[in-house]
Each structure stands twice: as C-alpha cells, then as structure tokens.
Chain A
Amino acid sequence: MQDNQAGQVNEWVLSVEDLRVEFPIYKGAVKALNGVNLRVAAGEIVGLVGESGSGKSVCAMMGMRLIPSDSYRVTSGSIHQSGRDVLKLSEKQMRDIRGSEVSMIFQEPMTALNPVMKVGKQIINVILQHQSISRAKAKEKTLALLRDMYIADPERVFDSYPFELSGGMRQRIMIALAFSCEPKLLIADEPTTALDVTVQKQVLLLLRERARKTGAAILLITHDMAVVSQFCERVYVMYAGAVVEDGFTRDVMKQPRHPYTQGLLAGLPENVKPGTPLKTIGGQVPDLAQLPVCCSFMNRCERKADICSKVPDLLPLTSDPSHKVACWIVQQEDERNAR
C-alpha cells in the first residue's frame, strides 16, 4: 500500500502524521516521539521494529490513547483511525472504539490478564461492553472464539483462571479477546517476545489466520527482524522516536538503505558466518531528554557529513518511491544515481 496510490487514503485504518509526543520530567521532557509517520491500510500486516526505547510502545499506546492524559504532551501531529482524529475524540468515544474498532495485544501474557477473574468472564465483559446481546449469547460467542483459537477444550479454558494456563495458551486468550469484536486494526506489541520459538510460531500463524479471516489489519511491533521478514508485508524502522526507514519488507531486509537499518541487520548472527566478528554500531542511543537538533543517528553514523546537522525528513527514494528513508546522505546518493 503506498502513498502515491491516490484515492486510497481513506482506507488507512491507521495513519499517524508527524506525531511528536513528550513526557515532562524533572528538568525538561523526554521526547519519546519525534515526528512519526506511519500508516496501516485495511487488511495488511505491517511491522514496526527498532531498538528498545525507540518509541514503539509509545506509538502503539498513542494509537489507543492509553497513556494517562496528564503524563504526556502532544506537541504536533495527528493520529487518524479510519478517518477519525483520535486525539480529538472524547474519552467516551475513545472507549467505544477501543476493543471494537481497534484492539491491542501485549507482550507479557502472564500479567496482561486479570489474575483473579476467570478468562471466560473477561472475554464476555468485553463483548457485552461493545455489543448489545444477552449474556448467554456472549458466552456462546466466547466459546466459539476459543474454538477458533484451536483450543481443544474451550469449556475448561473458559472456566480457568489465567495462572492455570500456559504462556502460549494465555496469548491465545489475548488474541481471542482482541478479535472478540472484530476490530479493523490490531496492534500487537511484541506479542511473542516472552514465548518459546515453537509457541511463537503458532501464535503468529494464528494471528495471521485470524486477520485474514476477519479482514483486520495488524501492526506488529517486534524487535525480531526474522519475524518481520516472515510475517509482514511492510515494515517501519524506528530510531530515537522517529521512523528512519519504511518500505516493503523484502526491500528493507535485502537492501536496507538507512545506515541504522544496515547496522542492525549486519549485527544479526544469522547474517554472518559463524565465529566471525559481528558488525556493530558504535556509540550509544541518544538521551531522549536531551535530543540534539540534528539527525539523531549522526553521532553513531559512519557516513555522517555536515548536512546531517539538519534533521532529515522521511522521504521516498527516487529510485523506488515505495521505499522511504530519513537520511540526507542516502537521499542525495539516490538522487545522484537516479539521474
């Protein structure tokens, strides 16, 4: 799904424009998001990768407006969901959207469910919140949902407390919960990080299957490049609160353009011969509370030049307009090559 496909703009289930968010703290503010541009179209699976602290979760939470309103400031930008400006909705309107139009799955299936409420009840509560059906109907629906999750004995699981279930099972419950009201968009914040690879695979497959069946789009947040390359059509790479690269997964994986993405991929053991030294990115992630006014990757970049002291924009490459990069050097280079 690309920008230049005019007329499709209304089909963005999620579109974040130049979002800047900061958290006021002692002496200043943590600038968690510094101009994020991100779009998800109906039915597609989009990856969002980046290092820890790069703002992935803040981005996701902003999409649901789940951060307590007194702890952050939006300094610019907008978030639209299916055309509605999320930042302008009232709390009540927002509540109606959450769960029904857009859902979310979290990293720790261990703690994401209420430990003292039976899982069946937790799902029913959500269904009843958004749909005016009887409790018995809701229960029926819940059991059907659980069955859809390939849970062998839904009745037992329905009557279980979360602690009685394994991690994979709990994550399936979360998925059931997420799809209970057939949302248009599902934000999955590192849904498999806490799981074993074998279980991770099942959970991801399940997610994809459900999304395909219901037509929901998924924004999959992860820091596992391999997962992205296996499951996502498009990917956004974040660094220090901004998207630095975005494009079709295969393009980004095969031909990363931004120096950060390149460094990231080169650091994966998968990508080198065993035993040989891995490529590393020198330096450290900048302190978001004292962000320099320049390309945030500049201090770690091997290719930095004078121009990097200006903040780069995320712009499509001339050679491949579906591939966007926020780097002066790469943009100039690409322009030169294209000419």
Chain B
Amino acid sequence: MPVFQIIAKRLVGLVFVVLGVSVITFIVSHLIPGDPARLIAGDRASEAMVDAIREKLGLNLPLYEQYWLYLKGLLQGDLGTSIRTGRPVLQDLLAFFPATMELAVVSLILAILIGVPLGVLSAVYKNKWIDQITRTVSVMGISMPAFWLGMGLIIIFYGNLSWFPAGGRLSQGVPVPPFVTGFYLVDSLLAGEMRTFYNALWHLVLPALTLSFVHLGVVSRQIRSSMLEQLSEDYIRTAKAYGLPKWQVILRHALPNALIPSVTVLGLALGDLLYGAVLTETVFSWPGMGLYVVNSIQALDFPAVMGFAVLVSFVYVLLNLLVDLLYLLIDPRIKEVG
C-alpha cells in the first residue's frame, strides 16, 4: 500500500478515535461526583457565587450542549480552558507534554538498547544460565511496581551516594535552552550548550532507568520469543548450511526478521510509557503531564482531563501511523500484501 494511502487511512481513523476518546472521557469525567464550580469558588463561597461561576464556565448547560461546544472548539484546535488554572488547556499541556515525551522516548531508547540485546542473548542461549538470568531480569522488570523502584533509586543514588539529582529536569541556575522541540537534550545540543545538555542528561538517568526497566522486560521478552521463532525458521538453517558465522546469522538474518513483529509491540510500549510516566513523574518531581492530569482528575477539571486524553490518543494514533510507515521501511513484503 502506498504511503499516502496508509496516511489517509490513519487520518480517517484519527478523527474517529479522537471523537470516541472525547466522548468516553467526557462521559466518564462527568460521572465523577462533585461540582468543579464549587471547587473553584472555594470552601466558604455562597451559593450565588457558585452559580455565577457555573454559568461562566458553561457548566449549567445541558450535557449534550456542553459536549457540542467542546467539540466545536476541538475542531478548531481549541481544547478549552482549564477550570483549575484558568489558562487554555492546550497551553498547559504543551508546557508539560515535551517533558513527558522526552522521558518516554529516552526510556524507550534505553529499553530497546538494553532489551534487544538481552532478548537476543536469551534466545540464542535458550535454557542456559544466560537465558535464566535475562529472563529473571525481564520478569522482575515487568513485575516491579515502578513507583517503588523509583523511590528506592532516589534513596540510594541521591540520598546515600549523591550521584544523581533527586528530581526535576535541570539543576537550578542551569539555563533552560531556547524552545525548539521542548526536549532539553535536543534543544541544548541545537543551542550548543553542552553544560545544559549534560545537566539534563544527568537528571534523566534515574527516572529513565526506572521507566525503562519496566519496559525492558516487555521488549526483551518480545524479542526473545520472536527470535526463537525466527531461529527455528528454514532460512536460518540455510544460512548456517552455507557456512555463515553464527553471529552473522543471528544478527543479520534472524534479528531483522524478529524485529518486524516487534515493531508493533515497541510502538505500543511507547504509548504505555506515556501513561506509565504518570507515576514515575510523581516520584521524580518530573514536570510532565502526569502530575497535571492526576491533579486535574481530582479537581474535576474536565477540559484538562479531556484535553490530556485527546492529546495522548492523538499521539497514540500518530505512533501507530509511524509504526505502519516503519513496516514499509523494514518489511519489503508489505507493499505486495497491502
């Protein structure tokens, strides 16, 4: 299937998904008992004040009308105004989104860089001690409550050893690089500020390790099982039969084929990383969307919650699109099969 068709198909799906997501989050968030107007007005506010706020925020309108207004705004790229902060939701989210994304992407890269070799080793030395160790590590990753691990790392590496900072994205006094992508690592390199770069990297280590440890298990497990599958394929036997060295067979023949089915899993993992960041961010004072959305839910900040859900599902669909395009790149068979 040509590229533009895949894109077109995904974009149609995107509209659908965003609509669906907004409906679901709208319904669910309005099911939460509580009145945001009262929350804003404060403890001691009179009924009249609460009513006034309700009116100002349009909360007195019937639900379908509220949704309709929301949808109209959405179509114009307006995610509404946060009840809690009084600022446009999009503006708030964009302040937090790059941080979350940076953490997620770095964690994914880490998870891949560590997880793929582990998975390969584990498959190649199936049932040997390497395999047992690797599988133990990956199962521990999958089974580890992320927040628990994070807290432990802070205590050890900040509290006792002082090797890494306790949290945040930059040390105080280190200038924030001019905004280009919102990723401090990238922006600081673009601006040529190596000090900022190292500082940002230094801050990323613990949270990224925490987050990637969980997904490292997912990745290495997936790679292991698809490697095992590929290693039992005929073409591997062929490659061996023609005298290709073991590691060439594993890395140049089996691995590319094993990566193909794994791409989907990795795409989904990045999606999960985005959500998974919520807990990690709390522990590491990481200024991402996680804390924002938890607070928003607790403050019944409907537009903010919906905005978050819509943005993340948007990214999720885009990721899927990316995965599809990646398939085109790595699997020549796709073009034919469509």
Contacts and interface: CB of A to CB of B under 8 A. Distances in A.
Direct touching of A and B (C-beta under 8 Å): yes
Most chain A CB neighbours (cut-off 10 Å) among B234, B246, B257: B234
A114 B241 CA distance: 13
Contacts of B241: 64, 66, 98-99, 103-104, 106
Nearest to B233: A111
A108 to B, nearest CB: 6
A267 to B, nearest CB: 30
B328 to A, nearest CB: 12
A115 B330 CA distance: 11
B260 A100 contact: no
A82 to B, nearest CB: 16
Contacts of B234: 106, 108, 111-112
Nearest to A65: B240
A47 to B, nearest CB: 20
B333 A116 contact: yes
Contact of B242 (A103, A115, A161, A163): A103
B229 interface: no
Interface in A65-94: 66, 91
Interface in B302-338: 330-333, 336
A106 B332 contact: no
Given A106-B234, A112-B238, A129 B244 contact: yes
Given A98-B240, A117-B253, A161 B245 contact: no
A232 B76 CA distance: 77
Given A113-B235, A114-B235, A163-B336, A126 B257 contact: no
A100 B244 CA distance: 11
A108 B236 CA distance: 13
B243 A96 contact: yes
B243 A97 contact: yes
B21 interface: no
Interface in A118-174: 125-126, 129-130, 161, 163-164, 174
B237 A99 contact: no
Given A114-B257, A115-B257, A117-B253, A130 B238 contact: no
B260 A116 contact: yes
Contacts of B333: 115-116, 161, 163
B256 interface: yes
Contacts of A104: 238, 241
A113 B243 contact: no
Contact of A95 (B245, B257, B332): B245
Interface string B220-248: 00000000000001110111111111101
B19 to A, nearest CB: 37
A106 B237 contact: yes
Contact of A164 (B243, B331, B336): B336
B336 A177 contact: no
Nearest to A101: B243
Interface string A189-228: 0000000000000000000000000000000000000000
Nearest to B237: A66
Contacts of A115: 235, 257, 333
Interface in B121-151: none
A116 B238 contact: no
Most chain B CB neighbours (cut-off 10 Å) among A104, A116, A130, A180: A116
A221 B257 CA distance: 29
B331 A116 contact: yes
Contacts of B242: 98-99, 103, 126, 129, 177, 180
Nearest to B256: A116
B38 to A, nearest CB: 60
Contact of A66 (B235, B240, B246): B240
A114 B233 CA distance: 9
A320 B305 CA distance: 91
A117 B333 CA distance: 11
B253 A114 contact: yes
Contacts of B233: 111
Given A117-B253, A161-B332, A112 B235 contact: yes
Contacts of A106: 234, 237-238, 241
B326 to A, nearest CB: 13
Given A114-B253, A163-B333, A129 B237 contact: no
A126 B243 CA distance: 7
Given A66-B237, A108-B234, A111-B234, A116 B244 contact: no
Given A108-B234, A114-B253, A95 B239 contact: no
Interface of A: 64, 66, 91, 95-100, 103-104, 106, 108, 111-117, 125-126, 129-130, 161, 163-164, 174, 177, 180
14 contacts: A66-B237, A66-B240, A114-B239, A116-B330, A116-B331, A116-B332, A116-B333, A117-B252, A126-B242, A129-B242, A161-B332, A174-B238, A177-B238, A180-B242
Given A115-B257, A125-B252, 8 more contacts: A98-B240, A99-B242, A99-B243, A100-B243, A114-B238, A116-B333, A130-B243, A161-B332
